[in-house]
Amino acid sequence: MKPESRQAVAHFLIAAGRELNAFLEGLEADDYKAAVQMIRESRRGGGRVHVTGIGKPGHVAGYMASLLSSTGTPAYFLHGTEAVHGSCGQLVAGDVVICISNSGETAELKATVIAVKNNGCKVIGVTGDPGSWLARNSDLHLFAGVGEEGGPLNRAPRSSILAELLTLQALSVALQADCGQTPADYVRCHPGGKLGQLREGEN
């Protein structure tokens, strides 16, 4: 490894630790109360949850839809750009769409948010900027902001992706506890692999 590479990695690890510690210190359990209530009310009325994003946050969206589904909240990935080319057909009025964008200003996601709202859905925006377009045009905003991405050029999404994952994982924890998922419920939805086995004392 070149000295420049070693130095870049060391800087990233320090920056990531600093940014994530600062981010986590600013979070509280009650930050997710309104989002849990919105999703609970939607599901009570037959609504579903969808997760979307553009670029790398789109990959976060796919993971989160999978995580939510496996922990008691059925969720679907909504393609960030295909949404305005017909994929909004997977939405019904009353659904909740979680939209992820660090800047909250991504042009393609703006079009998707407008289409989502025109289809009668509620929007939970996840951004690093509470004053962004996405935050202002969401029904509810969850903060996922960092001051530095880390790595060469400080441009490629790194620390911001970790913040988005953490805040949405925290939401998934709140939703899983809220729905009262039991070990048997989890195994029924996840029958494969080691996680698909009841542990000693579980039922």
CA distances from 17 to 10, 90, 158, 162, 170 (A): 11, 39, 12, 11, 18
Q: Average pLDDT of the chain? A: 95
What would the two tokens of residue 83 be?
Answer: 């949404």
Residue 122 backbone class (left: φ over 0; alpha: ψ -120 to 50; beta: rest): beta
Percent of the chain with pLDDT over 90: 88
Please say whether the beta carbons of 71 and 94 come within 8 A: no
Distance, CA of 157 to chain centre: 15
Using a pLDDT cut of 70, give the percent of the chain over it: 99
- Residue 191 binned pLDDT confidence (cut-offs 50, 70, 90): confident
pTM over 0.85: yes
- Mean pLDDT over 129-148 rounds to 97
Mean pLDDT of 117-126: 98
Could you tell me the end-to-end alpha-carbon distance of the chain, in angstroms, rounded to an integer?
50
Give dist(CA 80, CA 100) in Å, integer.
10
Amino acid at 8: A
Domains of the chain with CATH codes: 3-189 (3.40.50.10490)
Which pLDDT does position 198 carry in this prediction?
A: 76
**Confidence check: pLDDT of 182 > 80:** yes
Q: Which amino acid is at 31?
A: D
Q: Decide: 118 and 84 in contact? Cβ < 8 Å.
A: no
Higher-confidence residue: 78 or 194?
78
Mean pLDDT of 157-162: 97
